[in-house]
Chains A and B, each alone.
Chain A
């Protein structure tokens, strides 16, 4: 494969100048234009300016992403698909140099394509869906800003720029959940999402700080160079990444070492640390012109990270990974920070589809996939990830089973599916998790957008829904819509099939891959069969709740009476366009899986699908054992058949229970009575709100009360005492003032007054007496002079 050219890190390919900046600039400009021009021109163009600008910016971003993908990413060799574009330095603190750089590698490429493709479709849908709403410039500006932040998040080549995007998507999510901020529920949901995410972000920051601290490293310098090397920044290393682990490189490679927040630098340093001691434990110092081979510098960049303990006896790296996991869990609505996502459905449906189903919530998955080289070093952390994912998948599925609000069903379904992705990450198969991100993005976006059409139709059918927006989303209000929305029905069915994992729909492939990865994983320190059983039950439940919503929407009850507004509502351009978008996504939901990632046991040569071949280069080398492990064919077939059977079973049960609710009412009532407690538990999302209340809200309130008490009883009393003392002192000072000071002042003035009064008597205005006075005075002076002069 020839030598790997060098430009900054082991994995840095030749300096192809991928125009990555455009991917950020276009949606950002779109957001600005929509916010400013959109508002100014909105009235002139009958409210179409803002959506048009936003959609145009989005389509331009999509075009740019596709062009970059097909001209820069895809044609080059698998190992060279990493383009770095350092943009500008941000700041230097001590030895830490933080710069703003972008990276395009298979992981980023997949995420960027997902975001731009789904973003474009959903922008298009939203342009029609939001027709007639107030505040559209605001809506579309934030939608574009969201795309900008998300692209920044996935393109960032370091924790710091990624964190900009991370917070950006959180802020946009907040603004868009609270789009109808006049509704108290929407405003509360936005606040809740924001605060729950802050909890995760705090953990993420702690994790980042631990990494930064842990990467400081130690170095042992021997020979004459000892004492001359300060905080060494650059070394040459003899090893290079070639795909089959580290091999001696044909040329020399520089490895920047020292504390860093750049993803690739952390990875390079960790690999340097993990090198076999014999070959590369001693990296030669790069002393430039004065090359002196007699110095051996043993540099151990990640010594703290790998060998230290934290929180008592826990390994440092485990704690750091758990902190990062908690940060990812906040964004991706995992246990224990999942309860904000169902509430986030208070936002408009396109927002739910784009942000709270397809893209933003996968940011956590993306982060852990990006850091999989780090998690690979801590099997314990991987176990935590897998367990968290499994439990979340189960909790989400059970909660989705009993919700009456259509969008909440889909939200809990998202929680559950994100759990599957975390299972994949925990099982050491980030590729499988990423695949599920993609398939889930398509079928969940399809489900949400179809739900948006359904909600519109229900709102048109039931006039009383105008006052109560939640009524139009209530599954109990729906039923029999199959005739009214035939295309939407089939799209919804296709997406449900993908979600449930019916054979040959895309969810089937991605979920199967996750379960197979889990079944063959031997790193986890917990019995994988237990997790597998829980996930199998979850698969059944997934099919059950998916098709429950399907049957409750489109069948269940007799068709509603045709409303007079129906034809006008249904035949419009907007409706056709939205249905078109939904159909495109439905096709995607079915096709993406089999087209991109068929299981390798389906081909005679065990060739993996193009998706896996594409992303594989991203993760190989991080997971050395997976290279050797070949999944037994029996396991693969077993997983696939088992998954298919469970999904079909769930479908069958859902069909039996919900196809005609009137006929099955007694049976369902009996079920409901038997599992009343469980139903209550599930309906509240496993009491997450109560747990938050107990763990966070109540303590904070108690703290507030304690602080109030302290304030009143101690501080106020002390302050009041001081004040009273001050008053007393003041009184004493007043007395002194009145009697002593005023007495003196008054006495002086009185004396002056009296003297003046006496003196005034001399000035009687009679010249004669003046003359006499003068004469006597002169006489006195003369007498005085006579006596004094002698």
Chain B
């Protein structure tokens, strides 16, 4: 991430970062679907699946990961909807 002591010399750097954050926000649900689809592979090929505890920890672990990532991204994502306040027609 940017070093806070030095302000960005190029404006592009900040907006570049914003665009990548937006990409991250878009990709996050896809990432989540893939992770939560992995349990479908458990027990494939005649192997025994994971124990109850492991299954539980995996599903909930992915959940925590998602919540954390989402919070992190949203924190740094600037509000692009500056125009929304005058959206309402009075």
Task: Tell me, yes or no, whether A binds B.
Answer: no
